[in-house]
Structure 1
């Protein structure tokens, strides 16, 4: 079999993530931009680079291959942090702590205790805090005085880690934050001892002992997260941060800015979120801001936050719009949906928002002015702003990876080099608005298809459809390219974002409250019918659906509930029993299982398994930590018990998203064979032979 160019490219580039510059930092003097990127478009080892804005030249600050001397086998630098000036850089490599200077010089490996995770220099660049096996430690920047400042007294307890903070922090989950003067840290302590234990085994490797993981599914105890003020000097005791933890058990954000330490806490039902100011002396808290919603308060990355002058930034949902607010007053107009706050530089606020859900614009605002847009043209924009220097990124139809440029005073002063490979195939896509809800959709057709020559095509729905993720945007992503690949094999591929997806306002997102799948499936069926009315190339007698994770569940339900529409389904890593899914995600929409058991029953694929009458292919990675294979195995058992034929393909060693790994080509081709066999799809002989 001849290797497929796109599928080979997905593996070689790790879904077009290699060779892409990212994780940008602008130094305080505005002269240098730091970032991570591999040497080539297929280099698996990201390096640390510096771009001199004065000369436009790029310097390699830390090369993992050279530092470790092990060829191309390393995973590279996964992240880094700097001091306030941006001159001292701390990163981990092969479990060790390293430092580098933004001005160059040889990187240095510090003799810190290993393995090291999440190193963070203090604002003055004198010390580095890091986490090692549940302990929070500090070491001087010169490598001396390495010591713990908070150590767990029991297993399943760790300092410096707070998993839910990724909901509000732009740079991912964190668990420790320096005071501006570097004398103390605000630190999370996470106690998982009351959390359920899950045991994972790999049947393909029976000699390997079971993996034990603490996981809090819906309705079960969450980790007990507390916050502490920990001095760095002397033997001063730790000070606990005090708030009503019984009422607000989720810590979803924290930090320490020029106005003092703060925390963002959330109630278990997720209907209330508080911003708490923390007294740095005694740990007492004061409510600075409160948000409530009858369904749930959506957490927006980067919020709440405070400007240098003390303006409180938050968001409010009103008039069908998610607004950015400053001291309670809307900054953004009706119809412009806030997406995220990317950063606050003094009193300048950088944020993203959408006037059209398929696009994400970049905006800046400061008190006393109107927001100004920082990028023209359709795309998905992002950026980093500091001292008047903007690193602006955009993903659009020109490639699967975003591009980056540096601007000062609105003028481009440099382009950040990127070695990302350009995708092999051309995309033949039509952007659609379908039905009375104006559902945003994309229709992919084969490049070779001519209606007069080839007639109607079988239809493949290829959605995601769940919260926090869109598939229909102006950008070309790796998912876009996979949809086009299926189109080239003889399908009309329809991708639709229905209710529950972001970008169309609070009411659209919360339309799935209490019913995770009903509105989503209805929108997929509605979009299919509307698309067929304007595109007769769609053959409604041959319709299939494929999906992974949330859309894997959706694919199963499609053939269970609407066999009149869907003739076959491919479902990867479906969540089949909502009671087994993560509490923070699932209780947001369905509430607690003991309070709303009927909602969980109505969303259970296991209960509906006896209804299956259509061909179904189930796929699941046996090493999936996000959706354990128990979901697919239990569904298969329910189907067998009901006498419903189906196919199961288990993937030894594969995680939650195997596309991009070595299994990619065979996995996608297996799905293709299944769908072709049941939908009578294929490429005409005249196209194969080039006639």
Structure 2
């Protein structure tokens, strides 16, 4: 990477420095193989499939050898990758911007992997010897990978636990093929006149909001599948046009906006012998299928939720009759949060879950809470005979509550032990005696992936990262602001010295649910640091509603996005001004998605505090956002219209009266099917009707993500120019 390359260009070209980083790691049950995806360089978008063979008795640095298993360039013979509309939609839901092999699934022994590439189905032998062929060229790689002749295009292929079959979705049908490529057939598919029905895929709100991207699950014996049938015919249709290409027909989108019908989701047990058994539960009371789990430790386990998400039930499924039994129910006056990795069965048959109990988010095994208020549990990573591997932040009763840190813990017979010690954010996967820990830190870019072995967790190998090193260094100061203790990061220009005087301020939040920005991770603060290098004091504040602090902190926004989240940005700003060089007469704010909503909200409701804003892809009218997200926080718009009005940006009644009109730039991708462009257009119409000047920057062909290199680069440059002009700020521009 040449020194003269600008940060915006490098940031865009490397997809925020994610390219070349090991991802999607899996460890074999015997601990002998670590499977992962990684592209060939920090600017290569095409992921390859790799295996690290972990050697017994290896010491640090010599305990493993990497080998390339599947290279998309070789498998496609240099042809361009082709994606169907369904696959593009799946990647949009998961915010997947890379190419090549973006996902894979393995059998129970982690001997076989299955993946889709350009709509075709491939399987890979993960145990084959690859001596001397790590380049991806020649017969070595091809001999370990085979294409199965199946119905295309292929979506979400997954081997059975015994490795004898591969299931996949094509044309809305769930299909199965033998591992040798024979016997391809439909297991469950839409019937005549069921054009809006799919089997084996997650519906929109599950993939977008529930973090459930799957629509089918193999039985432990590999003889049947638990499959979701999705009928989206009740969902209202929206049309997303491309104004830059008026000859193209608008795209039809089934979008379940708040207060409108959802897709109907049911389940069936589908045998490979052609049998089918409907799974029944009280769908009127619990219409949302939030989670499904099936392992050898117990029967299929479901987590279903009420539409208002204040009630949920854990159900076990009788695989003979399809009838369900309620194992446990939960209620919450605000909402019940969904967590990663749960519910699940422990090998001894106890249920593992994460629960909000006595003001803390705790790990529960059976009926016993194995953590307390000293930890805020984030996700379950693995459940094994010796205990549960999970991540957690410091809880409200922690003695040393590090700001923005996430650590890996183990809960076993001897209690809870923290496995990571370095300041940073960490996660892990494990198999047998091998635990693979991925960690980031504040004082170095990128992530380190270490393979640890045995009870002593001795490092025996590392998975190499090809990610590029940023041309600038982030220098965030992590702190807690004011009496509320709001987690915050402050970033100043690298050349700033005491005595230089106060700087114009740029608030740079996300500020809403599921979006923690203040983390102990270097790369997470790079864009904020770049803005700081332009002459700003940048403040990132995670106010109430953001994750990682406590259930009470998250749920303080129930029924009130606008008041709580904006008030905490103001509180953090004023509190930090007492100890940092912040010029409160020149304060701007920028953000994307919820952060875009918060930025526009700031200049419309608090022009006494905020003097300019850049609002990217904002939700301006919550009646236009989806059911599962919006109703969780604001309720049903039919029964609480006043709540939606109070949180809307398009209602002038909520704007400040008599105050100054502040500069506002609104940016929106016209192809966005998550926060549709109608949000920005309605806000612009309301502002125009009120005679309020503003700027709108429409992005043709851009979705909620901005993966296009030139678009992503120029967006940063346009924002800083707009903000400098709006605030009358000057900067060196050296970091461009």
Q: TM-score under structure 2 normalisation?
A: 0.90
For 1:310 and 1:167, how far apart are their aligned partners in 2?
31
For 1:688 and 1:226, how far apart are their aligned partners in 2?
57
Question: Cα 1:4–1:488, aligned 2, differ >3 Å: closer, same or farther?
Answer: farther
Q: Which residue of 1 aligns with 2:283?
A: 245
- How far is the alpha carbon of 1:169 from its aligned partner? 8.7
- How far is the alpha carbon of 1:660 from its aligned partner? 6.2
Q: Which residue of 2 aligns with 1:156?
A: 196
Whether 1:321 and 2:369 are equivalent positions in the alignment is no
Whether 1:401 and 2:446 are equivalent positions in the alignment is yes
- How far is the alpha carbon of 1:106 from its aligned partner? 2.6
Matches within 5 A, 1:526-537: 526-535=571-580, 537=581
Asked if 2 retains the 8 angstrom alpha-carbon contact of 1:166 and 1:252, the reply is no
For 1:318 and 1:610, how far apart are their aligned partners in 2?
38
For 2:197 and 2:4, how far apart are their aligned partners in 1?
48
Query: Could you give the per-residue CA deviations for residues 169-202 of structure 1, whole angstroms, max 9, x where no partner exists?
Result: 98x5111111111111100000000001010000
For 1:18 and 1:148, how far apart are their aligned partners in 2?
37
**Could you tell me which of 585, 590, 606 is aligned with 1:541?**
585
Asked if 1 retains the 8 angstrom alpha-carbon contact of 2:669 and 2:704, the reply is yes
**Could you tell me which of 48, 67, 75 is aligned with 1:67?**
75
- How far is the alpha carbon of 1:275 from its aligned partner? 1.0
- How far is the alpha carbon of 1:342 from its aligned partner? 1.2
Asked if 1 retains the 8 angstrom alpha-carbon contact of 2:30 and 2:433, the reply is no
Q: Which residue of 2 aligns with 1:443?
A: 490
For 1:322 and 1:610, how far apart are their aligned partners in 2?
36
Secondary structure of residue in 2 paired with 1:57 = strand
Asked if 1 retains the 8 angstrom alpha-carbon contact of 2:408 and 2:427, the reply is yes
Secondary structure of residue in 2 paired with 1:539 = strand
Tell me whether 390-399 or 136-145 shows the greater mean CA deviation.
390-399
Q: Which residue of 2 aligns with 1:649?
A: 697
For 1:173 and 1:371, how far apart are their aligned partners in 2?
30
Secondary structure of residue in 1 paired with 2:650 = helix
Tell me whether 675-684 or 514-523 shows the greater mean CA deviation.
675-684
Q: Which residue of 1 aligns with 2:378?
A: 339
Tell me whether 66-75 or 403-412 shows the greater mean CA deviation.
66-75
For 2:306 and 2:235, how far apart are their aligned partners in 1?
18
Q: Which residue of 2 aligns with 1:192?
A: 232
For 1:641 and 1:630, how far apart are their aligned partners in 2?
16
Whether 1:30 and 2:28 are equivalent positions in the alignment is no
Asked if 1 retains the 8 angstrom alpha-carbon contact of 2:209 and 2:628, the reply is no
- How far is the alpha carbon of 1:664 from its aligned partner? 1.9
- How far is the alpha carbon of 1:4 from its aligned partner? 5.2
Matches within 5 A, 1:259-658: 259-355=298-394, 356=401, 358-366=404-412, 368-409=413-454, 410-452=457-499, 454-478=500-524, 480-535=525-580, 537-608=581-652, 611=656, 613-658=661-706
Asked if 1 retains the 8 angstrom alpha-carbon contact of 2:474 and 2:523, the reply is no
- How far is the alpha carbon of 1:168 from its aligned partner? 10
Secondary structure of residue in 1 paired with 2:144 = coil
Question: Cα 1:659–1:149, aligned 2, differ >3 Å: closer, same or farther?
Answer: closer
Q: Which residue of 2 aligns with 1:226?
A: 266
Q: Which residue of 2 aligns with 1:20?
A: 21
- How far is the alpha carbon of 1:457 from its aligned partner? 0.9
For 2:32 and 2:180, how far apart are their aligned partners in 1?
25
For 1:241 and 1:3, how far apart are their aligned partners in 2?
61
Structure 1: gaps of 5 or more residues:
none
Matches within 5 A, 1:54-93: 54=55, 56-70=64-78, 75-93=99-117
| Number of equivalences | 679
For 2:522 and 2:702, how far apart are their aligned partners in 1?
26
Asked if 1 retains the 8 angstrom alpha-carbon contact of 2:209 and 2:629, the reply is no
Runs of 4+ in 1 over 6 A off after TM superposition: 71-74, 167-170
For 2:483 and 2:443, how far apart are their aligned partners in 1?
31
Whether 1:132 and 2:132 are equivalent positions in the alignment is no
Tell me whether 398-407 or 41-50 shows the greater mean CA deviation.
398-407
Q: Which residue of 1 aligns with 2:135?
A: none
Q: Which residue of 1 aligns with 2:46?
A: 45
Query: Could you give the per-residue CA deviations for residues 292-326 of structure 1, whole angstroms, max 9, x where no partner exists?
Result: 10110111111111101112112232332101111
Question: Cα 1:552–1:43, aligned 2, differ >3 Å: closer, same or farther?
Answer: same
Asked if 1 retains the 8 angstrom alpha-carbon contact of 2:20 and 2:467, the reply is yes
Asked if 2 retains the 8 angstrom alpha-carbon contact of 1:544 and 1:675, the reply is yes
For 1:293 and 1:89, how far apart are their aligned partners in 2?
40
Query: Could you give the per-residue CA deviations for residues 480-523 of structure 1, whole angstroms, max 9, x where no partner exists?
Result: 11111111111111110000011111100000001012111111
For 2:278 and 2:27, how far apart are their aligned partners in 1?
34
For 2:710 and 2:312, how far apart are their aligned partners in 1?
43
Query: Could you give the per-residue CA deviations for residues 517-551 of structure 1, whole angstroms, max 9, x where no partner exists?
Result: 2111111101111111112x211111111111101
Q: Which residue of 2 aligns with 1:98?
A: 122
Query: Could you give the per-residue CA deviations for residues 80-123 of structure 1, whole angstroms, max 9, x where no partner exists?
Result: 11111010111111110001101134310100110001111111
Asked if 1 retains the 8 angstrom alpha-carbon contact of 2:378 and 2:391, the reply is yes
Asked if 2 retains the 8 angstrom alpha-carbon contact of 1:307 and 1:347, the reply is no
Question: Cα 1:289–1:420, aligned 2, differ >3 Å: closer, same or farther?
Answer: same
Q: Which residue of 1 aligns with 2:85?
A: none
For 1:23 and 1:38, how far apart are their aligned partners in 2?
12
Question: Cα 1:273–1:166, aligned 2, differ >3 Å: closer, same or farther?
Answer: farther
Tell me whether 354-363 or 135-144 shows the greater mean CA deviation.
354-363
RMSD over aligned CA atoms reads: 1.9
Secondary structure of residue in 1 paired with 2:561 = coil
Asked if 2 retains the 8 angstrom alpha-carbon contact of 1:345 and 1:386, the reply is no
Query: Could you give the per-residue CA deviations for residues 403-440 of structure 1, whole angstroms, max 9, x where no partner exists?
Result: 21111111111101111111110223222211101111
Q: Which has the higher contact order (CA 8 A, sep 6+)?
A: 2
For 1:665 and 1:117, how far apart are their aligned partners in 2?
32
Q: Which residue of 1 aligns with 2:89?
A: none
Structure 2: gaps of 5 or more residues:
56-62, 83-98, 129-142, 395-400
- How far is the alpha carbon of 1:688 from its aligned partner? 6.8
- How far is the alpha carbon of 1:400 from its aligned partner? 4.4
Question: Cα 1:429–1:30, aligned 2, differ >3 Å: closer, same or farther?
Answer: closer
For 2:244 and 2:118, how far apart are their aligned partners in 1?
27
For 1:330 and 1:464, how far apart are their aligned partners in 2?
32
Question: Cα 1:553–1:4, aligned 2, differ >3 Å: closer, same or farther?
Answer: farther
- How far is the alpha carbon of 1:657 from its aligned partner? 2.5
